[in-house]
Structure 1
């Protein structure tokens, strides 16, 4: 296991039976808690981890041992988990991939953006990715990497934190308040201390987007990575996309890298918007 993987997704936290503020705090009777718990089991795996046991699932989901045992048994029967009897742990099964393919295949923006992203990644020697919101993080749906740089290894499906990355701050700075505020509330509840520390950075990100056209991350998330991100001007198929560029952080090189990357990334985003008919 590698819980400290830089591309680890947040521990699953679903709004099980969330209170309805307009209904005296009553539970949502339409919310299928068992289904949500099963999904959380599948989401407990992190990049670099091939095996998890019931104890891991209990720790990461907060579910009881008996509930986890029933869910893992059911998921094995359905094929979403494979039981390694020798180690008494579970692996993800191939059926987990099936629901993602129709989603990715339907995203025309990926095909349009791919050659632009690859050209920029080769030009600046970094990685260029396309992300959308996933719960309280950003998930990559397309990525291109420079072969000259092996340190930056995001890939499709990598989930990044919202508050400490350029791509997350760009999403928060662009989307309407009715989308932003529920996410901020969830982030505040998940980690109040981190949220408090992030507030000034979020304010700066909004100002940067308004005045400079991009958001940045000066090694706030990973000590060895600088990030720059530009959100698209409008949603595509109801999703707000963000183009992100990650570069290896070098001492005293942030300003120079910003000057190199920022105009190219803004141009990429504008070109993509034009090709998609958003402008």
Structure 2
């Protein structure tokens, strides 16, 4: 719960940098933080529960929830008297996904790899100190890993998070790594060791792996991608440890994923250049 309580101040710090940005609207930040409290495990929340999770005064939370209800982003559950997210929030999410243009182009290629590797193949982006799934493909025979768009995983202990960090500019990476250290000082030594190994692996092979680091029964490999007009994204493949062995990832799936990522980047760049040419005509 301690991490939840720090959510508003940490979110403001990440957004405004030094915390004295005069353009930063604290009331807006608080309202968005309330929306972020809801999840699959917390679909209904009261004012008191929201106050506990954000560290805000209950009176402040009450005004914020009232405003969000009036705007249509929260609804009141009649049976429990708690608040829930509405479809208006879903509409924002779909609008955001629509901006990730490479999803349409990447999906059939991702599905081909998923069928070949018998693994979950996913496209993800960063959300603070987590990675969030934007798209996923899996073979019909693999039903052990169920994920959907919006699901989040930790950035420091997963192959996709490590690949993302390895591709960042130095200053941005140092900032995020420091935030990871501050969030969980006790776990930091093990996380730091994993990040160091990931950096060496990325420099040598162009991908990052996770052999049971996030889930002991899951192995994964991930590659970062940069495309015109897009945030840094990560392409990953994951599956049961018995199927995605270290040897198989290192000899086949890892290099294959790097090749696929570079192909998607090239295709997105070519499509972007073609679109610009059509507009100029």
Q: TM-score range by the shorter chain?
A: 0.7 to 0.9
Cα distance in 2, alignment partners of residues 137 and 242 from structure 1: 12
Give the C-alpha shift of residue 21 in structure 1: 11
Deviation, structure 1 residue 39: 0.7
Using a 3 Å threshold, how does the CA distance of structure 1 residues 91 and 21 change in structure 2: closer, same or farther? Answer: closer
Question: 1:58 aligned to 51, 54, 62, which one?
Answer: 51
Q: RMSD across aligned C-alpha pairs, in angstroms?
A: 2.8
The worse-fitting range, judged by mean Cα deviation, of 258-267 and 241-250 is 258-267
Q: Distance in 2 between matches of 1:187 and 1:128?
A: 26
Q: Is 1:250 aligned to 2:237, yes or no?
A: no
Deviation per CA, 1:177-236: give whole Å up to 9, x if none.
13212212222222222233211111110111111221001111122221110112x353
Correspondent of 2:104 among 93, 106, 111: 111
TM-score, normalising length from structure 1?
Answer: 0.86
SS across alignment from 1:193: coil
Q: Which residues in structure 2 correspond to 1:48-127 (within 5 Å)? A: 48-127=41-120
Q: Which structure's relative contact order is higher, taking Cα pairs within 8 Å and 6+ residues apart?
A: 1
Is the aligned partner of 1:160 residue 2:153?
A: yes
Give the 3-state SS of the residue equivalent to 2:113 in structure 1: helix
User: After superposition, where does 1:19-34 map in structure 2 within 5 Å?
Assistant: 27-34=20-27
| Residues in 2 aligned to 1:12 and 1:213: alpha-carbon distance in whole angstroms | 33
Unaligned runs of 5+ in 2: 271-281
Are the aligned partners of 2:8 and 2:29 in contact in 1 as well (CA < 8 Å)? no
Equivalent position of 1:195 in the other structure: 188
Bigger shift: residues 110-119 or 94-103: 94-103
The equivalent of 1:186 in structure 2 is 179
Q: CA deviation at 1:29?
A: 2.4
Measured at CA, do residues 239 and 21 of structure 1 come closer, stay the same or move farther in structure 2, by a change above 3 Å?
Answer: closer
Distance 1:34-1:207 versus aligned 2 partners, 3 A rule: same
Give the distance between the partners of 1:19 and 1:135, measured in 2 at CA: 8
Contact 2:162 2:195 in 1 (8 A): yes
Matches within 5 A, 1:117-266: 117-232=110-225, 234-250=226-242, 253-266=245-258
Distance 1:147 1:14, change over 3 A: farther
- Residues 11-20 or 91-100, more deviating: 11-20
Higher helix share: 2
Q: 1:168 to 1:275 in 2, by over 3 A?
A: same
CA deviation after TM superposition for structure 1 residue 19, in Å:
10
CA–CA separation in structure 1 for the residues paired with 2:12 and 2:158 = 30
Alpha-carbon contact 1:162-1:168 (below 8 Å) kept:
yes
The answer to which of 35-44 and 69-78 deviates more is: 69-78
Note if contact 1:16-1:31 (Cα within 8 Å) is conserved in structure 2: no
2:73–2:86 CA contact under 8 A, matched in 1: yes
Kindly provide the CA deviation profile for residues 151-182 of structure 1, in whole angstroms up to 9, marking residues without a partner as x: 21122111221100000000111111132122
User: What is aligned with 2:276?
Assistant: none
Aligned equivalents of 1:131 and 1:19: distance in 2? Answer: 20
